[in-house]
Amino acid sequence: MSADIDPTEAIPQVTAEMIAKASVHPVAPAAEPTSQPRPREAGQPQPQPSAPLSPRRPDTTSSRPSRSATTPAERAGSASGGSGTPAAEPPEQAERVSEQPAAPDAVLRDRPGASSFTPSEPYGDRHASAGHIAAGHLSSLVQIPTVSVRDPEYVDHEAFARHRAALAAFYPRVHALQSEPAGDHGLLYRWPGRGREDVLHPFPVVLMAHQDVAPVGGMEWSAPPFSGEIRDGVVHGRGTLDDKGGLVAVLDAVETLLGEGLVPERDIWLFFGADQETAGGSAQTAVRRLYELGVRPWLVIDEGGGVVTDAFPGLDRQTALVGVAEKGRVGVDLYTTDVGGHAATPGRRTATARLARAVTRVSKHRYAARVNAPTVDMLERVAPGAKGARGVLLRTATKLASGPLRKIAAWMLARGGPEAWATVRTTVAVTELEGSSGANVAASSARAHLDVRVALGETVDRTVARLRRTIRDKKVEIEIVERSEPSEVSPADSQQFALLSEAIGASYPDAVVVPYVTLTATDARTFTPISDHVYRFSPFALTREQRQSMHGADEHLSVDSLSRGVHFYREVLRKIPG
C-alpha cells in the first residue's frame, strides 16, 4: 500500500455487527397522501425516510404516445436449439414488463445565450481531494470478492453481505433513504425530489451500477486481484472498472450532495445489481418494481462507454463515448456425442473431432459488416477533427457510411482493430471447451460454449440460423442457454443527452461527446421497456489497455479518473430539470 493514500485510515472496517445493521429499510405499506404539500428548501437537511412509497400509478396522461404494446423480446419470439426445442426462459423472465409511453420533455428555463440547465461547476482541486476519499472506498470494496457465478448454489452470500455492510458504513446518508431489496443482493433506493415525499414523481432519474465482478481464475495478475492496492495514484484489482468504480462514483456523489442538503428536482432512484455478470435477475426485479409503482424514468444512466483518446484514427483529443444502444447477446452450447472408450482405439469421427470441426467453421466465418445509424452519427461528430492521412480515411468512411456505398465504409471501419471490428458486425467467441475427463479416455461427449454478440439490425433468430448453416452438421446439437435482442436506440438529440454532454464537459472539458453502440451487455437493456432514454456511460478516462483488462488481468482505475467520475454524477444530479 502506498503512503499517499491509506484506504484503511478513518474508514470503518466491515464487521459482523455492521452486517447485522446493514439490512435495507423495507418499503412501508401505502398511506393516504396528505392534503398539504411538504415544502423543502435546499438548505434544509435531508429528513429520515418516514414517508412510504405510494403504490398508485401517477397520472401520466400528458406523456407522448406509446411506442409499442409489446416488449422487444416478445417481438423477437423464441429461438430453437439443434433439437428444435425452444430455449427455456430463466424464472426471473417469466413475467414480462410491457413497454410504456415515453416520459415528457422537461420544461427548461429560457435564458438567451446560456444553457437551460444549471451552470456547470468546473472541476477543481477540491474535487480532486474528494477523489482520494472515493479511492479509499473503492479499495476497500475491491477487497470483498463479490464474484458472480451462474449456479445459485455457489454464490458467496457472505461476501455480498459484507459488501452491503461496507456500503452502509461508507454511505450512511444513502443508507437512510427509502430502500428495498431487488433479488437476493440487489439494492434499490429512492431519494425523493421536490414535492410531497409520499407521492412518487412519475418521471424520475435512475442511476445504476452493479456490485458483482467477473471471475479471476486462469489469468496471470501482477498483483493479487482482490488486494485493492493503491499505488502511484491508481487503484488496482478486480472490479475497479467493472463496475465498483462506477458504484463508488454514484454513491460518493449522492452522499456528498445529501450532506449539502440538495433536494433534486425529480425523484432519484439508485439501483445496484448483484448478478449483472450472469443472469441480470436483480435488474429485472427492479424494473418490475418500478413498473408496479407507476414510474417511467425520464433518464437512466448505467455503465458503458468512457472517455478515450485512441479509438479513432487521426483524432488526438479525448472522445466521450455515450452508449445509446447495445448489441444483443446469445449464449450457445454446442454438443457432440460418440461411443467413447479407450483412447488407443478411437472411432473414425470422435465427439471431440466433430466438435473441433464445428468450432473451426464458426471461428472462420465472418458475419456481414454493416454501419448502423448510431455509428453514422458517431462518425459525423468525430471525423471533422481528425488529422493527417488517417483523418482523411476516417472522413471518407464517414461520407460513404450514409450513402449507397456504406458496405465499403463498414469494410474500412472493420480494419481499425478489434473494437472497430465488433462495432460493425455480429461477433462469435468460443469461450469454453469440454471433452474427456481422462488423458487416455476418448470422450463420449464434448461441449463448446459460444458467446455471440448480435449487431444492431440483426435478430437472435437470424443469427442462430446463420450459425447452424455455418456448422453444416446435423449431429452437432445447438442449445441456446441465454438470449437478448439488440436494444432499442435512445436519441442523441434529446434533452437527456444534452444534460449528459454538459456534465461530461464539466469533468472533461476537452472531450467531444459522441453516441455509440455499446459492445458489451449491461443491465440497462432491462430498462428499455419503461424508458426511452437509457444511456450507458462510465465517466472515466480509459486507455486501450484498461478496456482490455475488464474481464482480464490487472484491472485498474486512476484516482484522478475516479474523482472526475464523482464530479460527473454530481453535475448530473445538480442539472436535472423539474
* Helix or strand run (H / E) with residue 559: helix 559-575
* Structure confidence at residue 507 (pLDDT): 95
Determine the residue type at 150: R
Say how far apart CA 300 and CA 286 lie, in whole Å. 13
Which residues have a Cβ under 8 Å from the Cβ of 429 and sit 6 or more positions away? 450, 451, 452
399: three-class secondary structure by DSSP: helix
Partner residues linked to 427 by β-bridges: 453
Q: At what angle do helices 157-170 and 244-259 cross, to 10 degrees?
A: 30
* Structure confidence at residue 97 (pLDDT): 76
Residue 502 corresponds to which cell in the numbers above? Answer: 454538459
Is the distance from CB of 235 to CB of 228 less than 8 angstroms?
yes
Q: How far is CA 309 from CA 11, 510, 546, in A?
A: 35, 11, 12
Determine the residue type at 34: T
* Structure confidence at residue 5 (pLDDT): 39
3-state secondary structure 158-203: HHHHHHHHHHHHHCHHHHCCEEEEECCCEEEEEECCCCCCCCCCCC
Rg (CA), the chain: 25
* Structure confidence at residue 143 (pLDDT): 98
Would the pTM of this model clear 0.85, i.e. be above it? no
* Structure confidence at residue 334 (pLDDT): 98
Residue 31 corresponds to which cell in the numbers above? Answer: 398511506
Say how far apart CA 45 and CA 259 lie, in whole Å. 7
Is the distance from CB of 522 to CB of 487 less than 8 angstroms?
no
* Structure confidence at residue 129 (pLDDT): 87
* Structure confidence at residue 390 (pLDDT): 79
449: three-class secondary structure by DSSP: strand
All structural domains of the chain, each given as residue ranges with its CATH number in brackets, are 83-91+324-484 (3.30.70.360), 127-176+202-304+520-578 (3.40.630.10)
* Structure confidence at residue 110 (pLDDT): 52
Q: Chunked in runs of 10, what are the mean pLDDT values of the chain (578 residues)?
A: 38 47 46 37 41 43 38 38 38 58 72 62 87 96 95 93 98 97 96 90 97 94 96 96 97 97 96 91 96 96 94 86 96 95 87 96 92 91 86 85 82 79 92 93 95 95 97 96 95 96 95 94 95 98 92 96 97 94
Question: What phi, psi does 535 have (nearest 5°)?
Answer: -125, 155
Say how far apart CA 276 and CA 279 lie, in whole Å. 6
Say how far apart CA 325 and CA 528 lie, in whole Å. 10
Question: What phi, psi does 476 have (nearest 5°)?
Answer: -95, 115
* The dihedral formed by the CA atoms of 363, 366, 367 and 370, expressed in degrees to the nearest 10: 140
> Which sign, positive or negative, has the C-alpha torsion 129, 133, 134, 135?
positive
Do the strands 299-302 and 534-536 form a parallel or antiparallel pair, or are they unpaired? parallel
CA angle 525, 531, 534 (to 5 degrees): 50
